[in-house]
Structure 1
Amino acid sequence: MDPDKIKFIKNDRFAAYLGIELVEVEDGYAVVKMEITDDHLNGVNTVQGGVIFTLADFAFAAASNAKGLVTVGINANIAYFKPPKGKLLIAEAKEIASSRKLCNYSVDIFDEDKDIIARFNATGYKRNK
């Protein structure tokens, strides 16, 4: 990981508050993880959907900004497949397409058994510095 390319990603206070950690970051690719705690659960004792969305969004941000251009999300959606098992969530972001100003990413979210629990798709806009 090039620390200069991801320094502002590491400054994400909300991700830190949730306990999200960078595992791997390369141009157009990232893996992040999070230990599930009771604070991440909703009223029916499953992981709150917003927590899963935030984990995926952080993976997208890390992967899309690793190229050194400030990239912000302009559209995102998520499909939830099933509740996670265990106490660990992992999100893997991969670039699908990129042009001069736009990029598209797919993020798969897995539980600790490596079962896919959700898929997040995002479009990013590459800002001028």
Structure 2
Amino acid sequence: MAPNEIVHKMFDNDAFSQWLGIAVEHVAKGECTLSMTIRKDMLNGFGIAHGAITYAIADSALAFASNSHGRQALSIDTSINHIESLKEGDLISAVAKENALKNKFGFYTVEIKKGNITVALFKGTVFRSDRQWTINS
């Protein structure tokens, strides 16, 4: 399957990414760009976006980028640095890039941005299974 087909198949079954309001902007082998708008129901008690929101879009970008090669991949280690706060109405993007691809592991960074401003940096490692993506998987 082509990277775009894999990501759209994954997204169609991903109720959480859909709930977030994520839009898939770009997909290629080892890459993915997503976007979404911060909503009121995503804010914490300080009136800013809960940290889990930027983590969630980054995690989705990691999943889509790492599965784009056609082998099913699962995250095994992730971390995030929150740099700037976000408010209701802010449009953000998550750009996942592959740093290294090995037989069993993949290493990725995801930059979460509001316009040209980096608001968070995410790092993820995935385990690459032997299972291939197919129309029926």
TM-score, with structure 2 as normaliser: 0.88
What letter is aligned with 1:43? G
Quick check: 1:26 aligned with 2:34? Answer: no
- Alignment correspondent of 1:64: 66
Cα distance per residue 1:70-95 (max 9 Å; x no partner):
01000000001111365211000000
Residue in structure 1 matching 2:104, options 84, 101, 104: 101
Q: Percent identity?
A: 32
Give yes or no for contact 2:23–2:35 (8 Å, CA) kept in 1: yes
Q: Alpha carbons of 1:95 and 1:2: their partners in 2 closer, same or farther (altered >3 Å)? A: closer
What letter is aligned with 2:106? C
CA RMSD of aligned residues (A): 1.4
Cα distance per residue 1:2-33 (max 9 Å; x no partner):
44322123321101011111110100000001
Quick check: 1:110 aligned with 2:87? Answer: no
TM-score, with structure 1 as normaliser: 0.93
In the alignment, structure 1 segments of 5+ residues that lack a partner are none
Give yes or no for contact 1:84–1:110 (8 Å, CA) kept in 2: no
Work out the CA distance in 1 between the residues paired with 2:21 and 2:49.
14
Work out the CA distance in 1 between the residues paired with 2:6 and 2:39.
30
Give yes or no for contact 2:21–2:37 (8 Å, CA) kept in 1: yes
Quick check: 1:43 aligned with 2:42? Answer: no
Cα distance per residue 1:69-124 (max 9 Å; x no partner):
1010000000011113652110000000010000000000001x320011000000
Give yes or no for contact 2:3–2:70 (8 Å, CA) kept in 1: no
Give yes or no for contact 2:27–2:65 (8 Å, CA) kept in 1: yes
Work out the CA distance in 2 between the residues paired with 1:9 and 1:124.
18
Work out the CA distance in 2 between the residues paired with 1:97 and 1:78.
18
Give yes or no for contact 2:109–2:124 (8 Å, CA) kept in 1: yes
- Alignment correspondent of 2:135: none
Q: Kindly tell me the number of residue pairs found equivalent between the two proteins.
A: 128
Give yes or no for contact 1:28–1:63 (8 Å, CA) kept in 2: yes
Moved segments of 4+, more than 6 Å: none
